[in-house]
Amino acid sequence: MSQQEVSWNQQVAAMPADADVLTKAPGGVASRWVMVGLIGVLLLAFLLSISLGSVAIPLGDVVSVLFGGEASKATWATIVLQFRLPKALTAMLAGAALAVSGLQMQTLFRNPLAGPFVLGVSSGASLGVALVVLGVGAGSASLLAGLNLLGNLGVAAAASVGAGAVMGMVLAVARRVHSSMTLLILGLLFGYATSGLVSILLYFAISERIQTYVLWTFGSFGKVTWSQMAVFMPTILGALALSLLLTKPLNALLLGETYARSMGLHVDRARIGIVISASVLAGVVTAFCGPIAFLGVAVPHLCRSLFNTSDHRLLLPGVALLGASLALLADLIAHMPGSSITLPLNAVTSLVGAPVVAWVIMRRRNLRQSFAA
């Protein structure tokens, strides 16, 4: 690929065109205030997620229960600790995981529209879950209900392997195809292929499992129990920690593999680490929460606009905070406070993420027109 093509891809992805941008300090007063604001929004969204629902609980009682006190009504403590707290923690972890995974994919594939859902990675994770779960037992309220610790670990591993397999195929194609649009089309084709295999598994599954699996595909943060949290939380936190260790390789890859090698980066090793981290993050969230659309694509672009930088020293914690906040807010909207109606989570995230993706496409078109002029 020529230097002009490399520069074009960098500007399309809202990434820096020279190394000076990456060598500057990632702080600054504005960036610090943005980070503080994201933390504040996350805390507010967390409290609202626990306080609001079909039964409204005063914030004072919520805080009292969270710190070991008692609520005005005994049932409120049960609702907070057994239902809303694990759901809120799941939403935070899932939102952060999908956002970080999307950021890593956009940098690795040098494509502004890359993400777990768009590239078919979530479909690969769904295939892994289907292979393990669909033939096990009878239907229940949750696809993973009744599994022990080893079973939950197996499902998480299967989803991660499925996500990694699809991501590896897309990466292999990306090294031969330099067109962003072609890569996206191939990612969609991989997703359709894995969805076809899932459909075959559904055809031979029992009817109760089919209904449960279809409900699982709608997405939900409320099906993760405390026993499943023992697998979900450590796995997500471990993969997020690995992503932080990849900050420097991600920054180096912004400027192309040739430049990264000149800086002494072992590109193949860095690529493997990124694939593992992104696959585990996307795969485990898909296994326990279902395939959540658009968060992985939209959040990195929103975060780049907030910080006005492509430096991963800021973006990685930034997208984690913003992704967690948006996941909490999407879940809050889906549960329609004051009502017993629950909307499909994927419908809400699609309504939020689709305009962002449209903005990215239009912005890319404007960049191409400005270059042509």
CATH of the domain at 67: 1.10.3470.10
Which token pair is 246?
Answer: 């990849």
Quick check: 260 pLDDT over 60?
yes
DSSP-derived letter for residue 19 is T
Residue with tokens 């400027």: 255
For residue 257, how many other CB atoms are within 10 A of its CB? 18
pLDDT average, residue stretch 327-340? 84
Q: What is the pLDDT of residue 157?
A: 79
Which token pair is 253?
Answer: 């890859």
Q: Which residues contact 295 (CB under 8 A, 6 or more apart)?
A: 95, 98, 99, 102, 323, 326, 327, 330, 349, 353
Least confident of 50-59, 173-182, 195-204: 173-182
Rg of the chain (C-alpha set) = 21
Distance CA 48, CA 243 (A): 29
pLDDT average, residue stretch 125-135? 75
Which token pair is 219?
Answer: 């997405």
| pTM (two decimals) | 0.82
DSSP-derived letter for residue 119 is T
Residue pair 90/289 in contact by the 8 Å Cβ criterion: yes
Q: What is the pLDDT of residue 20?
A: 39
Distance CA 202, CA 90 (A): 27
Q: Which residues contact 248 (CB under 8 A, 6 or more apart)?
A: 265
Residue pair 76/57 in contact by the 8 Å Cβ criterion: yes
User: How far, CA to CA in Å, does 68 sit from each of 60, 71, 81, 86?
Assistant: 13, 10, 10, 16
Tally of domains in the chain: 1
Q: Which residues contact 216 (CB under 8 A, 6 or more apart)?
A: 142, 143, 223, 290
Residue with tokens 């049932």: 75
Q: What is the pLDDT of residue 147?
A: 56
Per-residue pLDDT reduced to its tens digit, 33-59: 899 999 999 999 999 999 988 888 888
- CA nearest neighbour of 123 among 361, 292, 357: 292
